[in-house]
Structure 1
Amino acid sequence: MGSRMGRLVPSRVAVYLWKRLPIPKRWRSKIMWYANDRFLVAVLGLIVNEKNEILLLKHTYRSEPWGVPSGWLEYEDPLKGLEREIYEETGLSVSVKNVLNVKYAPNPHRMDVYCVGEFTSGEFKKSAEISQYGFFHLENLPEGLSRYQRGFIVDFLENRIPNR
């Protein structure tokens, strides 16, 4: 049962009440919603162009400004959420094909959903969050890219099957 509720009511008591109280299903759902901890879900994109270069964005608010396109999901499909985030922040259109990996990240507590896709069209427009963009070959990744993202990108590009 919910971890917040578990701090207040022992688990076996909560389960006993859950099974025996005549509560309508919609109320049970609300109880579960409020009783459970929630955390963020981020979506990150490994977006390539026809030259197999990776799309990187220069963020205005990060100490290591270069990174893959990313954003927070808003109760939506991760693939569509990434497409929305990239378009909102850059004006670029992409086609996100599938989820590549999901990892837990501790600060802040969240799930990172890594997706892979392709650049389709669009003209770059600066935003409050993004000042520049570029497509980069593996041997030409920019300074200011975190070691973690650099490693993930290198692994992805080295193991990518062309035209997939």
Structure 2
Amino acid sequence: MNVSEAAAALSVCSSFDRRTVGEADAQAWAAALPDVRFEDARDAIVAHYRETREWIMPADVLRRVRLVRRERLVGIAAPTPPAALADDPRAEQRWARVARNAIASGATEQEAAATACRAVGIDVPTAGPAVGPPSGARAALARVMDSTKEDE
């Protein structure tokens, strides 16, 4: 998350808790949440305030985002690297790691494969496996929220 996205996330927080937000706040949140997408942070903030009146902090956002990222990977088979990488195990491993991370971040399998191909410097295949529906943050967050309600 960059500083402007952090400011937008803090604006969402402010809508709930009336905190004042300045440049230093946005910089601090951006530093604490560098790998968090704005959409995931926003959804985590809303989910937080649906459950509690407690002031939200970056650690709370991270906890919820980690749950959503794990949920997105449930039931997803490990992406298969392209045959062009068969002779390079390190590139193949990097491709798989980047693709999995992209899926956890909310990309479709096809988007994740394209991102991984660009990361290892190979052409993006034009044909690939059938792609299912995108794994969205809202759907994953709803599943996480439902599972936490069952624990109550």
Using the size of structure 2 for normalisation, the TM-score is 0.29
- The structure in which a higher percent of residues are strand is 1
- The structure in which a higher percent of residues are helix is 2
Q: Which has the larger radius of gyration?
A: 1
Higher relative contact order (CA 8 A, sep 6+): 1
